[in-house]
Structure formats: C-alpha cells, structure tokens
Amino acid sequence: MHAVPDPAGPVSGRVVLETRNASKTFGVVRALRDVSLTLRAGEVHGLVGENGAGKSTLIKTLTGFHRPDEGAVVLDGTPVTFDSPRAAQQLGVCAVYQEINLIPDRSVAENIFIGHEPKRFGFLIDRRAMNAKADEILQRYGLMVDPRAKLGTLGLGEQQMVSIARGVSLGARVLILDEPTSALSGTEVDVLFKVVDRLKADGIALLFVSHRLSECYRLCDRFTVMRDGAVVKTGTPGELPRNALIAAMLGREGHGQGTRAGERALEAAERAEPALDVEGLRWSTRVREVSMRIAPKEIVGLAGLLGSGRTETFKAVFGAQRADAGVVRLKGRALGGAGPARSIRSGLAFLSEDRRSEGIFPRLSVRENIVASVLPRIARFGFISRRKEDALVKQYIEQLGIKTAGPSASISTLSGGNQQKALIARCLSTHPAVLLLDDPTRGIDVGAKAEVHRVIRGFADEGLAIVVTSSEMEELLELTDRLVVLNEGISIGEIQTRDASADDVLAMLATHAPSL
C-alpha cells in the first residue's frame, strides 16, 4: 500500500525523472527527435508547443505507452524500461488526462484505490479502511468530496480532482497533468491551483501541459518548448516571457493571436435585421430564460461560468434537444421545434465542444468527415461528384491549415487541434447564415487558435452571424464584438467588448443573481 506523501516531502530540486536524447518514429513520421527533459522534485515544469509538436508522444513515452527507439528514460538516476502504464504507475509515474478515465458508477474511494484496494485477510476489500484513506487524501488537498459518493454524481472539476487523488494514492513521485483545466470553471481552476501548490510542497515533480499560457505562467517554475518533435527552448518564466515563448512555439516572430475586429460598426449591427433571434428559450433546468439577437457580420460571445447553460443553449437553438418554451427565428422565420437536419437546411450550423463523442467519425477519412453535412449538395442523381468533393476538401484544408498526410488519411491520425479544424470546415461547408461555435479552440495551440480566429473574423466580415463560447474569457473579449452573459441558464445582460475586461463580466455575474 502506498502512503500519502509525507508533509515534509522529499528534497526539492532533486532530479526524479528525465529523458535523455529520446527519439521515437512511427512509420515515416519522427514524432520525437533527440528530446531531453528533466523533472525535479517540488517543481512544476510546463510543457508547451503546438499540436503535433510531440507533447503527447513524450508523455506516452514517460508513462509506458511507448518505448523510445533511441535514448533513455531515467528514474532516480537509473535507466528504466516501462512495459506498460501500470508498470510506470507502480514506480510512481502517473498521469491525469484531459479526458477523465474513471468509472462513474463506482464510488470516489473505489476509483481512487481501484486495482490496489486495502484488504482484510489478504483477499477481502476493507471498505472502511479504503474510505478512511480516501478521505485522508481528499482532506489533505482541501477537496470537500464524500469518498462514498458515486463518481458520476460529481461535477467535472471534482472528478478531475479525484483523478489527481488516485495518482497520490499510487504513491506518485511524478504527476503529469495533461490539459487538466480545459473543462473547469474559474472556481474549479482555483481549487486545482491550490492542489498543485500542495503537491509541489510535498516534493512531487509535476509536468503541466496547458494551452492556456496564463495558467502556465501562474504555476510553472520552468518551461520546455517543443516544435516538430524536438525541444527548441528551455527556461524559466523570466527567461521566456510570453512573446518569446509564443515565438518559440510557432517558429516565427510577431505572430501572436491578433486583435479582435473592434472596428466593426456595432451601431450598424444594432440597426440590422437579426440573422438569429432567440426569445425566452427554456429547456429543462439548464436553460431557464435565454434571449439574444445576433446581426449579420457580428461575432457575439456567450459568456458564463461552467454550468451556466452555454452548451445547452446552443443545442436547444440548433434543435439537438427540443426546447420546452421560447422562439428561435433564423432570418426572421421561426424554426418551430426544428431538428438538426432542418436547422442545417435553414442556414444554421453548430460545432459541439465534444469532438470525440459528438464530432468526428473516427473510422472515416478527413475528406469524409469534412463533407458529411453536404453530401446532397455535391451529389447528382444519387452519385457523389468526386470533383466537387475534392475541390471543397482542398479549399478548407488550405484555408484552415489542417495538417494531414492527405484527404484520404483517417481523421483519427490527426492531432486534436487538427480534428477540431476539420469539424469547423464541416460547419462552414454548409454555407450557413449563422454559425454556433461551442468552445471551438478547446485543445488547440496558440498558432492554430490564431488561424481559427482569422477564419472566424473573415467569415463574419463576409456576412456570417457568429455566436461563440470559450473556456477562456480573454479569448472571448479579444474575438467578439459583444457578450451575452449567462448565469445559471439565464441571460442576465450584455457587454460591449471594445473596452471591457474580465472584471466587468465577473461583476455582472456577481451582481445579477438569477431570480427564477
């Protein structure tokens, strides 16, 4: 049985885990090229880079999914070969991933100790001891979670913390946090930060992977920047300020995330006939009273904390879930309980935040994923026009900068960011009048995010009305013309973003508590 870390912790600064000149090749793709990385006790080490830079391959090499073709993984000064992730865990190298991989029907304590439960008489699970030990770990890290509760009854943020507690229960000396905040609310992120600070104080070596640079600069003591499978920079936040870090990630200078199109005439948008008009929308307990009007050429952000009803609002507008009340008008015509197919034909497109379950067709090619929504348009007499299909796919691969071996490659071979861009291409291929984008840059690196922003602005300038959410308030403020603010499923007000800040949104959320 692994013990909870001693409060004093091991000696900070000691090298715990490292790769020495590690290389890994898959077919003709060299995913890692001579990578050396050092993780120290009591240090948070940030791993940053664009999608396809090699971060995921490096993590899988550290945790036993892959073995390096060349070089070595070294634990406590001794080269090791992990035969599996379980073997890595048994030696104290654990990972917590963006996609939570636990069992929702089991209790919190069972998830924390699954596979290494405390036993009585050598074979009976000692549930009392298991619950007590789970509670000890949870309390140590300030997590107010009942160890007997079913995991599936907890929020996403609490489930993420249970994943971390599981790593602690395994006796983690190295903990890899791969995009841990991607789906967390602001409050949950604050809790995570406190947990990370405590893990660091306990002398655990942490590898932190995030596309949110503000989080990296808040938490990390050192950075390693990867590009094209190689390490291109290593340094402290002082040695690598934000501009230098972004330049190293992108391999070019002066290419940040751009600026939002604040020059767009907001007064003209207010006078224009709305492309989308939503009045009194209700669905279940998640969407309680949402109204908004979006004009052509306008980019409007749907802002709110996690659980505010952003995704549910989009699904109700699109018809993916039938609203209980309210009216949705598209270019002045009521959709009247339309389903997704009719919404698409009417000029409405929706990009889900969950690309794995609700987005990609994992067994199909990049081409097939992009054209999935427009097959009738590119067919004649029931036969698909390969010429039209190739032209459409080529257009969006080039326009969105989708990195792929070719249109016929399986979409599952693409990085997460490039899969997301293929889904954006699918939406745009329907030539919508209104585009609903639910956190479209989730899991996308800085360079890809800038490209997506440019595409969004370009289509807005051409007349598209766009509604977008983001897990990053700074992104919404940068990209949009105004925000519709949601609180507990209610649209509580609007903010023009030209001179606004995140504090303005938070002030609105704090002072406009829902009354329903």
Residue 303: which CATH number? Answer: 3.40.50.300
**pLDDT given at position 244:** 81
* pLDDT reported for residue 5: 46
Q: Is residue 5 part of a domain?
A: no
Task: Please check whether residue 213 is in contact with residue 441, taking contact to mean a CB–CB distance below 8 angstroms.
Answer: no
Same domain, 185 and 322: no
What pLDDT does residue 501 have? 80
- Strand pairing report for 299-303 and 465-468: parallel
Domain match, 116 and 233 both: yes
Where among 229, 250, 271 does a domain terminate? 250
Let me know whether 239 and 379 are in one domain.
Answer: no
Same domain for 341 and 379: no
Cβ pair 113, 130 in contact under 8 A: yes
Q: Which domain covers residue 375, as residue numbers?
A: 363-431
- Of 209, 224, 250, the residue that ends a domain is 250
Q: What is the pLDDT of residue 513?
A: 54
Q: Do 98 and 187 belong together in one domain?
A: yes
Residue 279 covered by a domain: yes
| Total number of domains constituting the chain | 3
Query: Per residue in 169-183, is it b (16+ CB within 10 Å) or e — as a string?
Result: bbbbbbbbbbbbbbb
Residues 322 and 426 occupy one common structural domain: no
pLDDT, tens digit (0-9, with 9 covering 90-100), for 358-405: 777 888 888 888 877 766 666 666 677 677 778 888 888 887 778 888
Classify 426 as helix, strand or coil: helix
Whether residues 244 and 288 share a domain: the answer is no
Give the per-residue pLDDT at 280. 92
The answer to whether position 421 is within a domain reads: yes
95 and 221 in a single domain? The answer is: yes
Residues 420, 473: one domain? no
Encoded tokens for 504: 């303005």
Buried b (16+ CB within 10 A) or exposed e, 318-354: bbbbebeebebbbbeeebeebeeeebbebbbbbbbbe
Residue 324 covered by a domain: yes
Kindly give the parts of the chain with pLDDT less than 50.
1-11, 253-265, 268, 515-516
Q: Confirm whether 376 is domain-assigned.
A: yes
Helix (H, G, I), strand (E, B) or coil at 14: coil
374 and 460 share one domain = no
**Per-residue pLDDT tens digits for 448-458:** 777 788 888 88
Query: In this predicted structure, what is the pLDDT of residue 354?
Result: 66
Q: What is the dihedral of CA 40, 43, 49, 51, to 10 degrees?
A: 90
Asked if residue 1 belongs to a domain, the reply is: no
CB 489 within 8 A of CB 284: no
Distance CA 67, CA 22 (A): 9
Question: Are residues 75 and 177 both part of a single domain?
Answer: yes
Tokens of 145: 């979670």
How far is Cα 206 from Cα 65, in angstroms, rounded to an integer? 19
Q: Last residue of a domain, which of 408, 431, 454?
A: 431
Q: Are 240 and 313 contained in the same domain?
A: no
- Residue 357 belongs to a domain: no
pLDDT for the residue numbered 515: 47
Phi, psi at 278, each rounded to 5°? -115, 125
Percent of residues in the chain assigned helix, strand, coil, to nearest 5 = 35, 25, 40
Q: Beta-strand (E) ranges in 70-109?
A: 70-75, 78-80, 93-96
C-alpha span between 186 and 191 (Å, rounded): 9
Work out whether strand 124-125 and strand 222-227 pair parallel, antiparallel, or are unpaired.
unpaired
